């Protein structure tokens, strides 16, 4: 049984604007899934189906094999946590600590458990020192971390991140990569994220869906997707720099093994150099 599954999901906005066309999507346990596509591809609309913010016009969304209903919507939103692209949409409390505590408090947890969860969430995203700050006085990257901490404190089994690198500096992106990988590795949490930054995908995802104009045009592993440069170009995306460079060297007769992450590329170049 999959944690999230959609079957022939279609969503039509008022005005007869079809945003999703017959989407079939699967999120298994302990997975890292990227949904990539240019702005307006439908990624955010899809994510809002996963915990009942939007309901399908046709087709179905199943959470642990069950459709979302008014009777189970509260449990669904504990199970699937979403961090929106704009952190200001989720931050509203007077201090960071209070904002992160909002979700656990609404779950009816006791004060000691709430305190523990808030502390751990702030520590996990590296903002313990911001606990007593006013959220709206923070930078965009700090606000993003506050929003993530607020969802993580609810301990969902699925974390959905909509364009998580938006507003982050390079160090923030690096920290986010480590954070996502730790959720999967240490806690067995399934992470689903959207992006048009293809370099991020290679560092984080196990599986990729390519989205364009409300449809999936391709899906597969990192290798399967990035071996289709023409397809990516057709949806206004590109192959990451590292595999593009290695492919160029291979075409020039330099036998560097293919790699998709910095660590793997470093190893590939080192082995090739040492071998020569």
Domain count, the chain: 2
Whether residues 266 and 162 share a domain: the answer is no
Between CA 142 and CA 126 the distance in angstroms is 10
User: Would you say residue 276 lies in a domain?
Assistant: yes
| Residue 276 pLDDT class (50, 70, 90 cuts) | low
pLDDT tens-digit readout, 16-25: 999 999 999 9
Whether residues 210 and 273 share a domain: the answer is no
pLDDT tens-digit readout, 228-252: 999 999 999 999 988 989 999 999 9
Q: Which of 43-52, 74-83, 166-175, 233-242 has the lowest mean pLDDT?
A: 166-175
Report for 59-63, 74-78, 258-262: range of highest mean pLDDT: 59-63
Are 160 and 47 a contacting pair, CB within 8 Å? yes
Whether residues 197 and 227 share a domain: the answer is yes
Q: Which of 174, 151, 153, 176 is CA-nearest to residue 163? A: 176
**CATH number of the CATH domain containing 86:** 3.40.50.300
CA 112 to chain centre: 30
pLDDT tens-digit readout, 76-124: 999 999 999 888 888 889 999 999 999 999 888 999 999 999 999 999 8
User: Would you say residue 45 lies in a domain?
Assistant: yes
User: Would you say residue 203 lies in a domain?
Assistant: yes
Q: Is pLDDT at 38 greater than 70 in this prediction?
A: yes
**pLDDT at residue 28 in the model:** 94
Whether residues 62 and 164 share a domain: the answer is yes
Whether residues 86 and 167 share a domain: the answer is yes
Whether residues 231 and 251 share a domain: the answer is no
Whether residues 199 and 272 share a domain: the answer is no
Whether residues 39 and 52 share a domain: the answer is yes
Whether residues 202 and 248 share a domain: the answer is no
User: Would you say residue 118 lies in a domain?
Assistant: no
Domain that holds residue 22: 4-90+156-236
Whether residues 247 and 227 share a domain: the answer is no
Are 204 and 35 a contacting pair, CB within 8 Å? no
Whether residues 161 and 271 share a domain: the answer is no
Give percent above pLDDT 90 in the chain: 62
| Residue 269 pLDDT class (50, 70, 90 cuts) | confident
Q: Is pLDDT at 274 greater than 80 in this prediction?
A: no
User: Would you say residue 95 lies in a domain?
Assistant: no
User: Would you say residue 13 lies in a domain?
Assistant: yes
Q: Is pLDDT at 263 greater than 60 in this prediction?
A: yes
Own/partner long-range contacts of 55-60 (Cβ < 8 Å, ≥24 apart): 56/6, 56/9, 56/10, 56/11, 57/10, 57/11, 57/12, 58/8, 58/9, 58/10, 59/6, 59/7, 59/8, 59/9, 59/10, 59/22, 59/23, 60/6, 60/7, 60/8, 60/9
User: Would you say residue 120 lies in a domain?
Assistant: no
Q: Is pLDDT at 48 greater than 60 in this prediction?
A: yes
Q: Which of 49-53, 115-119, 137-141, 220-224 has the lowest mean pLDDT?
A: 137-141
Tell me the mean pLDDT in the region 120-144.
90
Are 96 and 129 a contacting pair, CB within 8 Å? no
**pLDDT at residue 158 in the model:** 96
Whether residues 14 and 67 share a domain: the answer is yes
User: Would you say residue 141 lies in a domain?
Assistant: no
Q: Is pLDDT at 275 greater than 80 in this prediction?
A: no
């Amino acid at each position: 049984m999959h944690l999230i599954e959609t079957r022939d999901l279609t969503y039509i906005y008022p005005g007869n604007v079809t945003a999703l066309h017959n989407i079939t999507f699967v999120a298994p346990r302990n997975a890292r899934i990227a949904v990539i596509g240019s702005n307006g591809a439908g990624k955010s609309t899809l994510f809002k189906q996963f915990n009942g913010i939007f309901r399908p016009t046709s087709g179905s969304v199943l959470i642990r094999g069950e459709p979302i209903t008014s009777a189970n919507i509260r449990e669904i939103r504990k199970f699937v946590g979403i961090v929106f692209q704009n952190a200001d949409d989720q931050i509203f409390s007077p201090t960071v600590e209070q904002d992160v505590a909002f979700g656990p408090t609404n779950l009816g947890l006791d004060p000691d458990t709430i305190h523990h969860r808030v502390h751990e969430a702030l520590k996990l995203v590296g903002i313990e020192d911001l606990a007593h700050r006013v959220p709206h006085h923070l930078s965009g990257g700090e606000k993003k971390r506050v929003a993530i901490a607020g969802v993580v404190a609810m301990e969902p089994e699925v974390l959905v991140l909509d364009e998580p690198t938006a507003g982050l500096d390079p160090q923030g992106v690096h920290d986010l990569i480590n954070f996502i990988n730790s959720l999967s590795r240490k806690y067995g949490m399934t992470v689903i994220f959207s992006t048009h930054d293809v370099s991020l995908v290679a560092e984080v995802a196990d599986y990729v869906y390519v989205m364009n104009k409300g449809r999936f045009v391709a899906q597969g592993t990192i290798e399967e997707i990035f071996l289709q440069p023409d397809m990516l170009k057709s949806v206004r995306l590109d192959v990451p720099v590292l595999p593009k460079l290695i492919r160029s060297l291979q075409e020039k007769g330099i036998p560097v093994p293919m790699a998709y992450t910095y660590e793997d590329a470093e190893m590939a170049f080192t082995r090739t150099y040492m071998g020569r």
